[in-house]
């Protein structure tokens, strides 16, 4: 449909100016369509796609190899020369073993709880602060925002020493709160939500204020639903980052029952050395929620990465 519009514009004027005007009106899709028009879809395009496809298979091979290996029997996996496919594609013994004989169910639960705490608190805190930054004026607002943004640069790994002393001093080792501690607040959330709120016209807030709505009510009833897309993106990205953390939970979870899935994976592999069928299955298990997320909500995930850039 868009293409037709552009072609029509082209034919009418056959000049660049009109096309530019259409671009401004319709945004990216049309801009690309207009660019495309003059270029034939020849062999060049097909070989480009083929090259990209070949490269993407190269990217996929390591994951596929681990997934296939996780379906093999212990003897099968050590067969030489290296064999690609498992004898039986429906051999889920390794996975069953992880949950039946080992504690992976518990690790998964722990990871979900810790991730949930991190997402919940950081989202609420970010919403509140973003609202203040977007709809209020106060002294040192922009310098303060810049200061907070600059904390983007501080890697968590660089703070584990003092943070561990603080958390263990407060007696929070082996607790969910302790595990989620560094994730209770994320600069990224504040940044994303503020940017998004700036795009919402101030008149909404103004009208609500005139109608006598309290600030908190405006935030929860008017603003929050409107920034839902940003919230979705943030929750997904935050889920990915928190789920994948390793160093911090390894320090704080000293009891096996409190291990998150990354810590459980490393610990398990250390104990089961050379049981590669099990280690491969455990690797896949540790990635499972993210694989599901990737397959179902990839659009948001990609958007979040493009927007976060950092981290």
Binding letters toward other proteins, positions 153-172, x by CB under 8 A: xxx-xxxxxxxxxx------
DSSP letter at 156 equals: G
Question: Which residues 201-260 are close enough to bind other proteins by CB under 8 A?
Answer: 201-203, 205-206, 215, 219, 226, 228-230, 240, 243-247, 251
180 binds other proteins (CB under 8 A): no
Please state, in angstroms and rounded to a whole number, the distance separating the CA atoms of residues 86 and 65: 10
Of 7-15, 88-96, 102-110, 290-298, which part binds other proteins (CB under 8 A)?
Answer: 290-298
Phi-psi region of 202 (alpha: psi -120 to 50; beta: other; left: phi over 0): alpha
74 binds other proteins (CB under 8 A): no
CB of 171 to other proteins, least distance (A): 15
297 binds other proteins (CB under 8 A): no
271 binds other proteins (CB under 8 A): no
Of 5-13, 56-64, 86-94, 95-103, which part binds other proteins (CB under 8 A)?
Answer: 56-64
Please state, in angstroms and rounded to a whole number, the distance separating the CA atoms of residues 15 and 6: 11
Token pair 């600059």 is found at: 150
Instruction: CB nearer to other proteins: give 58 or 90.
Output: 58
Taking alpha carbons only, the member of 73, 69, 187, 57 closest to residue 130 is: 187
Question: Which residues 18-37 are close enough to bind other proteins by CB under 8 A?
Answer: 20, 27-28, 31-32, 34-36
User: Binding residue for other proteins (CB under 8 A) from 148, 177, 213, 222?
Assistant: 148
Helices (H), 152-275: 160-169, 176-180, 187-198, 202-210, 215-217, 224-226, 228-244, 247-252, 261-271
User: Binding residue for other proteins (CB under 8 A) from 1, 12, 39, 210?
Assistant: 39
CB 186 within 8 Å of CB 119: no
């Amino acid at each position: 449909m868009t293409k037709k519009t552009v072609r029509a514009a082209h034919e009418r004027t056959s000049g660049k100016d009109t096309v530019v005007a259409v671009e401004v009106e319709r945004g990216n899709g049309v801009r690309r369509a207009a660019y495309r028009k003059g270029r034939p879809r020849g062999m060049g395009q097909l070989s480009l796609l083929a090259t990209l496809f070949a490269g993407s298979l190269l990217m996929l091979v390591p994951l596929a190899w681990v997934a296939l290996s996780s379906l093999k029997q212990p003897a099968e996996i050590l067969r030489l020369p290296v064999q690609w496919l498992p004898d039986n594609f429906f051999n889920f013994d390794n996975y069953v073993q992880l949950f039946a004989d080992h504690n992976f169910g518990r690790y998964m639960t722990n990871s979900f709880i810790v991730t949930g705490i991190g997402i919940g608190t950081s989202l609420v805190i970010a919403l509140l602060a973003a609202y203040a930054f977007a709809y209020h004026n106060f002294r040192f607002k922009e310098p303060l925002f810049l200061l907070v943004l600059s904390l983007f640069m501080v890697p968590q790994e660089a703070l584990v020493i003092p943070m561990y002393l603080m958390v263990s001093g407060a007696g929070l080792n082996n607790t969910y709160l302790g595990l989620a501690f560094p994730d209770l607040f994320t600069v990224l959330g504040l940044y994303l939500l503020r940017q998004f709120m700036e795009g919402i016209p101030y008149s909404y807030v103004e009208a609500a204020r005139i109608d006598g709505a309290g600030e908190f009510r405006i935030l929860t009833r008017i603003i929050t639903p409107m920034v839902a897309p940003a919230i979705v993106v943030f929750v997904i990205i935050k889920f990915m980052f928190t789920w994948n953390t390793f160093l911090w939970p390894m320090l704080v979870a000293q009891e096996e029952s409190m291990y998150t899935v990354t810590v459980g994976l490393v610990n398990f592999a250390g104990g089961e050395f050379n049981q590669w069928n099990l280690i491969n299955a455990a690797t896949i298990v540790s990635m499972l929620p993210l694989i599901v997320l990737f397959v179902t909500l990839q659009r948001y995930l990609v958007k979040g990465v493009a927007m976060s850039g950092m981290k």
